[in-house]
Chain A
Amino acid sequence: MNQLALLQNALVVGAILFSLGLVGILTRRNLIVMFLSAELMLQGISVSLVAWSRYHGDFGGQVLVIFVLTVAACEAAVALVFVLQAFARTGRLDSAAWQSLRESNLPRRVDHELPAIDTVPPSFPRLTPAGVLPAADENDLLQREHV
């Protein structure tokens, strides 16, 4: 197997993952999705590192990926706490909710009214009624609906 070709292909995969993560972190406004995008970028980096490690026959790259993993875990812990705090303050997971650092005379960015989604109400599989319908918990239904 051509080692150079393998390296190059793995690097391209890493680059694609990195770029996708970058686009995600630039565009998505949900804090959690932004976070996922960041993790995607880390994955791209990890692939590249392992590819180079393989190419050189050196474990340094893999060791580095282990540390990346560690740091990602720490980052996730701390950042998710911050996300929760931010949510506690605004009631939203919106990154655009935090724009008080803008120039004083610029208007606040306001989202335009969005067209309604023509989503079909979720249809859940139903059993043939064979007895008394079990009483569904209202909260439970609510939780499921938006997943």
Chain B
Amino acid sequence: MIAVALPSPGVLLAGAVTAAAVSLWLLLPRGRDSRPARWLGGLLGAAALAGFVLTGRRLGGLGEEAVFLIVSLVAVISGAATIVSRSPVYSAIWFALALAGVSGVLLVLGAQFLGVATIVVYAGAILVMFLFVLMLAQPAGLAPYDRVSNEPLLSAIAGATLLGLLTLSIGRLSADPSCCQMPSKAAAMAAGTAGTSVDAAHAGDAIDAAIATDPLAADQVARLGGELFGRHLLAVEAAGVLLLVALVGSIAVVSRHGDPSGELAPARRAAS
């Protein structure tokens, strides 16, 4: 850990949020591409990330902390790159990397099935679909609308403000954990013998202990499957119907040939 004197958390967070907003604004396509601005944006983005890391340095073991830090940095940096890339193809590829980071985070969090499924479903299926569409639709060269943004400054400020608000409220969890104390199975399991209300400060440790001592902790996927097809069977069926409807709907829409109104035909001719 870096053991330097840090500013107070509030100032740190405010600085990080401001840096994030400015860096996003600098990085987003604004028509004029100047290399120094992008460098400065990258630097500020790194500073913002550092600020967030410093704000959130509360993990226990060094090993797990490092893994989490790396995968989350991959996810966040790739996500930022997704939205600031000029070329949509690059965006898609950056998004694939962001998915990899996210799946890493999910794995660290103990959701093995989801980590894999994200990679398989998103990167394997959805992203490929995107790339197909891009190849079908993208005209030659960098389109003008990829080089400009819609209200970049205001949007960056809005996003950063939202991020600041969310981080603040997340920070309140440690200040007053009782605010989010929900009756959970693990907590109930841990406190079941005592029969008293769970002490807030030790709730997390209790859960940790419960999971660690749980013999079924190894077969997470099996338990998720049991949960999914047990309690949520109906919802699974509904999701299946939804998939079918989406399939039929998209085929129905795409198979309608021609331009029914005819009004945009000249525009298309002019563009192509």
Cβ–Cβ < 8 Å partners of A58 in chain B: 184-186
Q: Do residues B91 and A94 form an inter-chain contact, with CB atoms below 8 A?
A: no
Q: Do residues A73 and B170 form an inter-chain contact, with CB atoms below 8 A?
A: no
Q: Do residues B137 and A27 form an inter-chain contact, with CB atoms below 8 A?
A: no
In the complex with contacts A6-B59, A84-B254, A114-B148, A47-B105 CB distance below 8 A? yes
* Chain B contact residues: helix, strand, loop or mixed: helix
Cβ–Cβ < 8 Å partners of A59 in chain B: 223-224, 227-228
B37 CB–A CB distance under 8 Å: no
> Quick one: which of B106, B144, B235, B264 contacts A90, CB cutoff 8 A?
B264
Q: Do residues B145 and A91 form an inter-chain contact, with CB atoms below 8 A?
A: no
Q: Do residues B121 and A69 form an inter-chain contact, with CB atoms below 8 A?
A: yes
> Quick one: which of A5, A74, A91, A115 contacts B139, CB cutoff 8 A?
A91
Cβ–Cβ < 8 Å partners of A142 in chain B: 140
Cβ–Cβ < 8 Å partners of B231 in chain A: 63
In the complex with contacts A70-B239, A83-B137, A63-B32 CB distance below 8 A? no
Q: Do residues A82 and B253 form an inter-chain contact, with CB atoms below 8 A?
A: yes
Which residues 72-89 of A sit at the B interface, judged by CB distance below 8 A?
Answer: 72-78, 80-85, 87-89
1/0 contact trace for B143-154 toward A, CB 8 Å? 111111111100
> Quick one: which of B95, B134, B137, B143 contacts A39, CB cutoff 8 A?
B95
Q: Could you list 14 A-B pairs, sorted by A, with CB under 8 Å? A: A9-B59, A11-B166, A23-B156, A28-B28, A33-B83, A54-B109, A77-B250, A81-B249, A81-B250, A89-B267, A91-B272, A92-B139, A111-B144, A143-B135
Interface residues of B (CB under 8 A from A): 24, 28-29, 31-33, 52, 55-56, 58-61, 64, 68, 72, 75-76, 79-80, 82-83, 85, 87-89, 91-92, 95, 98-99, 102, 105-106, 109-111, 113-114, 117-118, 121-122, 125-126, 129-130, 133-152, 155-156, 158-160, 162-163, 166-167, 170-171, 173-174, 177, 182, 184-187, 189, 203-205, 207-208, 210-211, 223-224, 227-228, 231-232, 235, 239, 242-243, 245-247, 249-250, 253-254, 259, 264, 267-272
Interface residues of A (CB under 8 A from B): 1-13, 15-24, 26-30, 32-33, 35-37, 39-40, 43, 46-47, 50-51, 53-60, 62-63, 65-67, 69-78, 80-85, 87-97, 111-112, 114-115, 117, 142-143, 145-147
| Additional pairs, 14, CB under 8 Å, beyond known A20-B82, A46-B114, A73-B126 | A1-B59, A13-B105, A19-B162, A23-B24, A28-B29, A39-B126, A53-B109, A58-B184, A63-B231, A69-B118, A77-B246, A89-B264, A93-B145, A146-B141
